[in-house]
A = this chain, B = another copy of it.
Amino acid sequence: MKQLLLAISLCMAGSVMAEKASVGIVIHGGAGTIDRSQMTDEQQKNYEAALADAVNKGYELLAAGGSSLDAVTLAVTVLEDSPLFNAGKGAVYTWDETHELDAAIMTGQDRNAGAVSSVTNVKNPILLARAIMEQSEHVMLTGKGAEQFAASQQLELVDNNYFNTDFRFEALKRAKEAQQQLPHQAAIVADPNWKMGTVGAVAIDHTGNLAAATSTGGMTAKRWGRVGDVPVIGAGNFADNTSCAVSGTGHGEYFIRYNVAADICARVKYQGKTAASAASEVIDELLQAGGTGGVIVVDSKGELSWAFNTQGMYRAKRDDSGTVVEIFATQREKAGN
């Protein structure tokens, strides 16, 4: 009898765990003019496989009882290590043919955060953002000083040319050629996605804690130490257990001005909106102002969603209802936009 009760109790614990474990994760690998006709089947499969790999690794960690902070860190690290996305390996080139990377991370329970801008030799900028959050009294570090801090934390450092990829170098050359013809806005002509590359993850764990992580190589041909929205907490990355966690990707300048990630959470918190509808509203308003891009969102109930006003967004999500991996806008998103 005792054994039976134990078995039932274990079984219930299992089912409670399963319910408590309504964990979930959403990731993105950038939004932009992602044209189906410009992508081979093989390219599409490669992107889908990389997205599935990142979302599955994050989900498995959550399902095993891991924290949302660890899950978003892991998923973003996987995307940083893939040359397909503009973050870590695969980062775009600056005007000076180097790479300058930005990243941010935030945890919803105490709204602790870490952010880094313009580092050139840190293999995984998201790990530096996390070290800043956990091992320093600061939130944001920049440039050489941030690299010194990374070294003090024994993070893996690489030569800047680790980030080199041929196809990003070609994109830089096209951007520079176009810019010589049209001083302003020329990079847009050369590459409609020039400002669009970012990777990110948001997750909820079995304790209900939310977390968000975002990483980017920035903008092709960027100059003057330009910093985008990623390390600006509230713009491209935000997490607050009383509302939601958001990671954004798009035209960073608009994301900063419109405080996109925090504004989505403010509408959830102060207007009682669902995270999905708040995200749609803010991304629609962004487009009206001239800004393109998208966000991934998880709310405190574990609802996973995304919104974007571009042709596509590399994206995936997984919870106990299954896995979704998508690149192009679906009919649902087209109807919404």
Contact = CB atoms under 8 A, between A and B. Distances in A.
A210 to B, nearest CB: 14
Contacts of A138: 224, 226, 253
A233 interface: yes
Contacts of A262: 234, 259, 262-263, 266
A332 interface: no
Given A112-B257, A258-B111, A145 B224 contact: yes
Contacts of A234: 232, 234-235, 256, 259, 262
B266 A139 contact: no
A143 B143 contact: yes
A37 interface: no
Contacts of A148: 223-225
Nearest to A223: B145
Interface residues of A, number: 47
A267 interface: yes
Given A112-B257, A137-B184, A234-B262, A117 B142 contact: yes
A149 interface: yes
Contacts of A259: 233-234, 238, 259, 262
A226 to B, nearest CB: 5
How many copies of the polypeptide does the oligomer hold?
2
Interface string A233-248: 1110010000000000
A214 B139 CA distance: 19
A240 to B, nearest CB: 9
Interface string A214-232: 0000000001111110001
Interface in A5-28: none
Given A235-B234, A259-B233, A226 B143 contact: no
Interface string A242-279: 00000000001100111100110011001100000000
A195 to B, nearest CB: 10
A156 B27 CA distance: 45
Contacts of A228: 140
A307 interface: no
Contacts of A112: 257
Nearest to A145: B225
Interface of A: 106, 110-113, 115, 117-118, 136-146, 148-149, 184-185, 223-228, 232-235, 238, 252-253, 256-259, 262-263, 266-267, 270-271, 289
Given A149-B224, A262-B263, 20 more contacts: A111-B257, A113-B256, A115-B256, A117-B117, A137-B253, A138-B224, A139-B253, A139-B257, A140-B227, A140-B228, A142-B225, A143-B225, A144-B225, A145-B223, A145-B224, A232-B234, A233-B235, A234-B234, A234-B259, A234-B262
